Amino acid sequence: MTEQGGLTRRGILGVGAGAALTGAFTGVAGTYAARRAEAAPSPAEAADRYDPAAPVPFHGAHQAGITTPAQDRMHFVALDVTTDDRQQLISTLKAWTRAAERMTAGAEAAPGGVVGGGPYGVPQDTGEAYDLEASGLTITIGFGPSLFDDRFGLADRRPEGFEDLPAFRGDDLDAARCGGDIGIQACANDPQVAVHAIRNLVRIGFGTVSVRWSQLGFGRTSSTSTSQVTARNMFGFKDGTNNLKAEDPAALAEHVWVQPDDVPGKAAWMAGGSYLVARRIRMHIEVWDRTNLQEQEQVIGRTKGQGAPLGQRQEFDAVDLAKKGTDGQPAIPETAHIRLASHEHLKGIRLLRRGYNFTDGSDGVGHLDAGLFFIAFCRDAAKQFVPMQKALASKDALNEYIEHNGSAVFACPPGVRRGGYWGEPLFS
């Protein structure tokens, strides 16, 4: 009464994903270049041929899930490592990598999938994504500052300046939503595929890691490609209009990817990686929803309908911080969110934002627990995110309506070569 072997998610291993798994490997640089070339057509062409069910290549110079056009849904988990055994941690990273290669290609976490191993074996895939497509799944791993303590002999490999984020004015952090030895971001166009990926990695890591916190994001807020339309956050405003985009490799090299010179000596493993900053930002939407349109637009610095910078007409019109309104005051107020977060204001600082809207039930006092799970990738969190957040924390008009209650930072190593494993250079 038990099916034996041979089952694959929609038989996809036999077709598209099979090619991805078994096709000739063109080398790290080649793979990355090929993905870059993919992005070369015009945004309209790219959008036309975008298939939300298709797989995203796993291997490359950089991890997928950073400049990959932001998928619609996300599941994020922060893990504590519960062993002190370095080899066990490495074995888990290897097993995770094999599973991630398979799942991102649209296959189960292990060969044989939900019934592999026979009736007396434990299924090596939990099965809830068995009939679903690859759905653009990407899985991106990062290591928290706490991993670089004495347990695993990694203390001298911590990149300079990589440490827990400092306290910011107004923070209301919940320790149960902060930190973690390891962070894993799964993004997909089907939430069940993202949840399945995290769950199976947690299952594989049983005995090595345990879940510290996790977060489901139901809708992307940020575009990371010119092929995507700008999405809206829970304040109803377009978010991430001026985000860095995958189609601008020079800007990514400057602001997102860790360069070899940034990480000399024993920290060199991080070259080609990026730092992921996560902040759980509760939005007091009920208060916001009773605020008039002018106040909302002055707080954000953009119009609500079009998303145009105040003083301009269209979403992508340039932000002009100097422009005055008819009343002689700055069109974009001094405390407006987009002014304080702008690279003009921050002496050139930019981040690649990749956040998600969340709704996690209610708070027990009659309000929805909703907001933005902010994710940003940057070349140096201490030099980019920290000064940006300090500027925002000091006088952003938005602070009246939000509350940062979760925080973490992870060092995401570079991409994985074929046959390698996540973080291999760190342990070599």
Smallest gap from Cβ 130 to a second copy, in A, equals 6
Q: Are 62 and 272 in contact (CB under 8 A)?
A: yes
Please say which residue, 173 or 256, places its beta carbon nearer to a second copy: 173
**CA trace torsion 247, 308, 353, 323 (10° rounding):** 100
Other Cβ atoms closer than 10 A to 20: 22
Smallest gap from Cβ 334 to a second copy, in A, equals 16
Please say which residue, 179 or 413, places its beta carbon nearer to a second copy: 179
Distance CA 63, CA 56 (A): 11
Other Cβ atoms closer than 10 A to 29: 10
Please say which residue, 344 or 363, places its beta carbon nearer to a second copy: 363
Q: How far is CA 61 from CA 32, 159, 245, 269, 279, in A?
A: 6, 19, 17, 12, 26
Angle, nearest 10°, between helix axes 191-204 and 86-104?
150
Please say which residue, 73 or 157, places its beta carbon nearer to a second copy: 73
Please say which residue, 28 or 331, places its beta carbon nearer to a second copy: 331
Smallest gap from Cβ 228 to a second copy, in A, equals 12
Smallest gap from Cβ 415 to a second copy, in A, equals 27
Smallest gap from Cβ 311 to a second copy, in A, equals 6
Q: Are 47 and 183 in contact (CB under 8 A)?
A: no
Smallest gap from Cβ 374 to a second copy, in A, equals 16
Please say which residue, 254 or 360, places its beta carbon nearer to a second copy: 360
Query: Strands, DSSP E only, in 104-154?
Result: 138-143
Please say which residue, 23 or 119, places its beta carbon nearer to a second copy: 119
Smallest gap from Cβ 146 to a second copy, in A, equals 16
Other Cβ atoms closer than 10 A to 47: 15
Distance CA 354, CA 71 (A): 9
Residue 181, beta-bridge partner list: none
